[in-house]
Every structure is written in structure tokens, then in C-alpha cells.
């Protein structure tokens, strides 16, 4: 079976799983909104209007206004950009680190492997949120710092997955064939082994993006997430919770956005896992 028809087979199985399809639709929906916010709202997310403070949803402001009279819909759309970027960048960092460490450990084995895997074990011992909190409080809550630290504390699962795949792949005939043809280590790792580890990485990535978005909202709640006035779903929700008793729209929409996005990524990730798992074939 070549790569093309395998992809088609996976997509076919994915499309028969209603939960995964729903998850994919939600993910796509928020991605489009984040990429093209002006399709939905032309308001400036940072324009303060003290005459329109805490207005409930109306024709002019479909999701209402916040405590500074800013348009909540516009802030949500631009917040989507920030929150999703945090998710994507943080997870890309995590995958980058996990990939390199997993490939090296799995391919070289022996001392390199046990050293790297002990490092993974050590990192896994830390309550991640404690580490993130400590580092953010020290180096400051800029958006780049947040992406960086979430990524740097979240690569261990990927490293283990990639290592396990590499361990079994490097013994396979096609790797031996490549080596016999004179391919160097780098070529074998990146051209022959890496593509075969993509499916589990994709699953880990979808779950990781969701996790990063949640972590940012938790940091925002503690006051050390993405800093206002830059909108993120986390800090809109945090601002909204102070007015929760008399301005429900301020916390409902960001809360729902985070919830739906994280749920969507999780359902999609689980769906991909089921679809690519060869052991579940024909079930």
C-alpha cells in the first residue's frame, strides 16, 4: 500500500467517526475565524468606549461589550489568533525537541538512549504546572515566554513515542536497504524513519495544542498569562469572571470557545488515533 492510498484509507475511516468529524469541524471553524477575523467583525478589539460599558449582546455588538466598552466579538476573534498561536507554537517546540531526542535515543540505543531516557524520566517527575509557573514568574509573562516554557516542559511524551517507533523501525528491511545503498545517518533518520513516526506525532500534536490553550487560560487566571490589552481567550475569560454576576456574556463566550476548541482537538486526536491504528482495522 503506498502513502497516498494509506492517507485515503485513514481519511475514509476518520470520516466514518462522527465524533472525529465534529471535532475536525470545530477545529477548522476556529482556525478560519482566527485567520480571517475581518470576515465577521470590523470592530477594533482595543477601541475603548466608556459610553458603552458592559452592554449586553445587541445588533451593533453581537457578543456585547466589556468593562471598558470594547467589542467582545472583536476581542474574541483576535483572542482566537493569540490562543491558537500559543497552542501551535508551544506544541511545535515540544514536538521539535521530542522528535530529536526520541530519534537519537531510539536510533543509537545503548548509553545515549539510557542517558536521554533518564532525562525524560526526570522531567516527567515535575508537576509541569509548578515548573511553568515558576519560570514564567521569573522570566515574565510575555507571549513568547509562555509559548517557550509550555513547549519546553511538554516534549517528553513525544520523545517516548518517537523513541519506541524508531527502535522498531530501525530493524526493518527498508532501513537496512537504505543503509546498504550508502545512506548516511541523517538521511536514514529524517528520510526513512521520521515519516513513519508521523501518525503518532500527529495524535500527540492535536492533544498538545489543546493542552497548551488550557495552560494559557490557567496562567491568565493566575494573572501571569498573556497580558492585557493583548486579548487571549484566557485573559478575556479571567476579566469576565469578575463581572460574572451581572455580565454573563463576558465569561460565557470565551469559556465556550476554550471548551469547544479543546474538546474539538481531543475528539479529532482520538479519531486519528483510532483511524491509523492498524490493529483496529476491519472493526
Q: How many helices (H) and strands (E) does the chain have?
A: 12, 0
Residue from 10, 46, 92, 128 touching another protein (CB under 8 A): that is: 128
Alpha-carbon distance of 47 to 69, in angstroms, equals 8
In sequence order, what E strands does 121-274 have? none
Residues belonging to the chain: 283
Identify the residue whose cell numbers are 522570566: 139
Helix ranges (DSSP H) in 109-140 = 110-125, 128-139
Q: By C-beta, is 193 or 226 nearer to another protein? A: 226
Shortest CB 3 distance to another protein, Å: 26
Residue from 4, 111, 279, 281 touching another protein (CB under 8 A): that is: 279
List, in order, residues 6 or more apart from 173 with CB less than 8 Å away: none
* Omega within 30 of 0 (cis) for the link into 19: no
Q: By C-beta, is 53 or 123 nearer to another protein? A: 123
Per-residue contact string for residues 151-190; x = within reach of another protein by CB under 8 A: ----------------------------------------
Per-residue contact string for residues 219-258; x = within reach of another protein by CB under 8 A: --xx-----------x--xx--x--xx-----x---x--x
Q: By C-beta, is 183 or 221 nearer to another protein? A: 221
Q: By C-beta, is 169 or 213 nearer to another protein? A: 213
Q: Which helix H or strand E contains 187, and what residues bound it?
A: helix 185-187
Half-sphere exposure of residue 182: CA atoms within 13 angstroms, side-chain side: 0
Shortest CB 77 distance to another protein, Å: 19
Alpha-carbon distance of 270 to 279, in angstroms, equals 15
Residue from 124, 176, 177, 198 touching another protein (CB under 8 A): that is: 124
Q: What is the dihedral of CA 153, 157, 158, 164, to 10 degrees?
A: 150
Q: Does 259 help bind another protein (rule: CB under 8 A)?
A: yes
Shortest CB 82 distance to another protein, Å: 15
Per-residue contact string for residues 19-48; x = within reach of another protein by CB under 8 A: x-----------------------------
What separation in angstroms does the CA of 153 have from each of 94, 146, 226? 8, 11, 18
Shortest CB 60 distance to another protein, Å: 27
Q: By C-beta, is 47 or 118 nearer to another protein? A: 118
Per-residue contact string for residues 67-106; x = within reach of another protein by CB under 8 A: ----------------------------------------
3-state SS class at 65: strand
Q: Choose among 211, 243, 238, 212: nearest CA to 227.
A: 238
- Residues binding another protein (CB under 8 A): 18-19, 118-119, 121-131, 133-135, 137-139, 210, 214, 217-218, 221-222, 234, 237-238, 241, 244-245, 251, 255, 258-263, 266-267, 270, 279-280, 283
Amino acid at each position: 500500500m503506498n502513502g497516498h492510498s494509506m492517507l485515503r484509507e485513514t481519511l475514509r475511516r476518520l470520516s466514518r467517526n462522527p465524533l472525529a468529524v465534529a471535532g475536525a469541524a470545530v477545529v477548522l471553524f476556529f482556525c478560519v475565524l482566527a485567520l480571517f477575523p475581518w470576515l465577521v467583525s470590523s470592530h477594533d478589539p482595543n477601541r475603548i468606549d466608556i459610553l458603552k460599558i458592559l452592554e449586553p449582546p445587541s445588533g451593533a455588538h453581537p457578543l456585547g461589550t466589556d468593562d471598558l466598552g470594547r467589542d467582545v466579538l472583536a476581542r474574541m476573534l483576535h483572542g482566537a489568533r493569540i490562543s491558537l498561536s500559543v497552542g501551535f507554537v508551544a506544541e511545535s517546540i515540544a514536538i521539535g525537541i521530542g522528535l530529536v531526542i526520541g530519534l537519537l535515543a531510539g536510533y543509537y540505543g545503548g548509553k545515549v538512549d539510557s542517558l536521554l531516557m533518564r532525562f525524560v524520566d526526570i522531567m516527567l517527575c515535575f508537576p509541569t504546572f509548578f515548573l511553568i509557573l515558576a519560570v514564567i514568574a521569573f522570566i515574565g509573562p510575555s507571549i513568547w515566554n509562555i509559548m517557550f516554557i509550555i513547549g519546553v516542559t511538554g516534549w517528553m511524551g513525544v520523545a517516548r513515542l518517537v523513541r519506541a517507533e524508531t527502535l522498531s523501525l530501525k530493524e526493518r528491511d527498508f532501513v537496512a536497504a537504505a543503509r546498504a545503498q550508502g545512506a548516511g545517518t541523517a538521511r536514514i533518520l529524517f528520510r526513512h524513519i521520521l515519516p513513519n513516526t508521523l501518525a503518532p506525532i500527529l495524535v500527540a500534536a492535536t492533544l498538545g495544542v489543546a493542552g497548551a490553550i488550557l495552560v494559557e487560560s490557567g496562567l491568565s487566571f493566575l494573572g501571569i498569562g498573556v497580558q492585557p490589552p493583548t486579548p487571549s481567550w484566557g485573559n478575556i475569560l479571567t476579566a469576565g469572571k469578575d463581572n460574572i454576576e451581572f455580565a454573563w456574556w463576558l465569561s460565557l463566550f470565551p469559556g465556550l470557545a476554550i471548551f469547544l476548541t479543546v474538546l474539538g482537538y481531543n475528539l479529532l486526536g482520538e479519531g486519528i488515533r483510532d483511524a491509523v491504528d492498524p490493529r483496529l482495522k476491519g472493526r
